[in-house]
Amino acid sequence: MTLLSRTSPAGSSTSRSRRGPRDHYLRGMVRWLGALLAAAIMSAFAILLLTGDYVREGPVVVQLSTTHGVHRGDVGIVSLWTLGMLSLLAVVVSGRPRR
C-alpha cells in the first residue's frame, strides 16, 4: 500500500471512480510540491551559473555597468531555465483531473 493508493479491507484495490476528493487533492499536492522543489533546484543552479566566473562565458552582449554585464553564455542559461520552468508547468497542469 502506497501513500497515494487505497485498498479495501478485503485487500483488493478500489476503482478510480470510487476514490474520493481527498485522493485527488493529495495527488495534486504531491505533484505541485515536486514541481516546486524541482523549480527551486533549477533556479539555484541557474543563479550559481550566472553569478560565477567560468571559462566559456563569452563576450558581453549587454553591459549593465562598468563591472557587470550579460554574457553570451548567460543567454543560454536563462533560455534553458525558462524551458525547464515551462516544462514543469506543463507537467503539473496536464495532470489535473478533467471535470
Structural domain containing residue 29: 20-94
pLDDT tens per residue across span 16-34:
556 677 787 888 888 889 8
Q: Is 41 among the domain residues? A: yes
Task: Report how far residue 45's alpha carbon sits from residue 94's, in angstroms, rounded to the nearest whole number.
Answer: 26
Task: Report how far residue 91's alpha carbon sits from residue 32's, in angstroms, rounded to the nearest whole number.
Answer: 10
Confidence (pLDDT) at 79:
93
Q: Is 9 among the domain residues? A: no
Q: How many domains does the chain have?
A: 1
State yes or no: pLDDT of 99 exceeds 90.
Answer: no
Q: Is 15 among the domain residues? A: no
Handedness of CA 55, 58, 64, 66 (dihedral sign): positive
Note the pTM of the prediction, 2 decimals.
0.63
The total number of residues written for the chain in this structure: 99
Collapsing DSSP states into helix, strand and coil, what is residue 14? coil
- For the chain, how long is the longest CA-to-CA vector? 72
